[in-house]
A and B are shown apart, each in its own frame.
Chain A
Amino acid sequence: MPLLLHGLLEASRREAVADGSLDAHVGGEVELVDEGRLLAVVTPTDDPEVLPSRANLMAHTRLLEALAARVTVAPVRFGVVVDDHDALTATMRERHDHLLEVLGRLAGHREFRLRGRYEQDEVVREVLAADERAARLKGAQGVDARMELGERIVAGIEARRDTDRERALAALDEHVTDVAVGAPAEPLDAFTVSLLIDEQRQAAFDAALDDLGARVAPTLALELVGPVPPFSFVDVGGP
């Protein structure tokens, strides 16, 4: 039967995850498959094309969150399937040392997602203060003038994103092991970054983040989500 892959961990940690309590997260049986010093967490699936459904995606996420709370786990991208156990162990053999290296790098670390979002009124005020043309257009009623004004405001916000992101990262740098920069998704998003934090540095990171939050307010509001499984820091050069 095809197997849907969820995550990989060191086989020595089998005890920590083998109590059957993981089943509840996927509404089915979770299987553990050994190969060398690796252990794969999988669920049998009779669905040759995994449906990118809400239930499937949430099950994958919850299972990995539960794993990450107990052990160091390398999360597999949602939807990766192998044909059977032989194909799985062959894959694990092929990538064995590389995967151990990834797990070693992640050990004792947690991933957080930091998002900066501009407060609309504040950022618009600042753009207007720096852009005379936009300030002159303010209040104009024609469609062309409003389009130009809106465009200038959006451009003004866009122009400061990189600076604001780099400033934030610089303030947190000494407490962060690794950074993955994401793309902003909405006009008022300043930045989205994934941070890999050493558990030993968590308190120092939190304090630095609070300082940063106070410094960038009220123009920029910070939001920290996590810990989440270290999805952003397992890239081993896939397709």
Chain B
Amino acid sequence: MVAASAPPVMRNAGTVSRRPASGSLAEVIDIILDKGLVLDVYARVSLVGIELLTVDVRVVIASVDTYLHFAEATNRLDLRGQSEERDQDLGDLVGGMSSQKAEGAIEGGVDKIKSVFGSDDREEQEQEEDS
């Protein structure tokens, strides 16, 4: 019986996760892409298509898919106060499904970024191996 044990997420969620620096490309784009000094006297921003990309990355997509995703998540969610055992089982099920979904979404996003930034992926890998 698993009824007595609290779901592990309750214990972990209280801590603040800390990361030292911008690791992933998506993070870098989010943190730096359209920020920083623009010296507009004799300097120019010489990027092509960068505005489009930032818009693409930043917009919260509240689409039909999003609504159906949350409807599904809600429908699979058991409310508190009902059988703990069922709660646990359903919680696991929802956890598994939503993390699969999230992975899919994140991968989709990264693919999209890669397709814009993909031109010299290999070049950078080589650089990283060199250093």
Contacts and interface: CB of A to CB of B under 8 A. Distances in A.
A210 B14 CA distance: 8
Interface residues of A, number: 84
A-B pairs, 5 with minimum CB distance: A150-B67, A238-B38, A77-B36, A217-B14, A150-B71
B21 to A, nearest CB: 6
A102 B117 CA distance: 32
B16 A238 contact: no
Contacts of B21: 65, 225-228
Most central of A88, A94, A124, A239 by chain B CB within 10 Å: A124
A108 interface: no
B49 to A, nearest CB: 7
B16 A231 contact: no
Interface string B14-27: 11111111100101
Interface in B35-86: 35-50, 53, 57-62, 64, 66-75, 77, 79-80
Given A78-B32, A150-B70, A217-B14, A228 B40 contact: no
Interface string A1-40: 0000100100000000000000010010000000000000
Interface of B: 9-10, 13-22, 25, 27-50, 53, 57-62, 64, 66-75, 77, 79-80, 91, 94-95, 98, 105, 114, 116-121, 123-124, 127, 131
A185 interface: yes
B44 A139 contact: no
A214 B12 CA distance: 10
A80 B60 contact: no
Residues of A contacting B: mostly: mixed
A169 B79 CA distance: 31
Contacts of A223: 16-19
Contacts of A140: 75
B105 to A, nearest CB: 8
Contacts of B48: 49, 51-52
Contact of A214 (B14, B49, B73, B117): B14
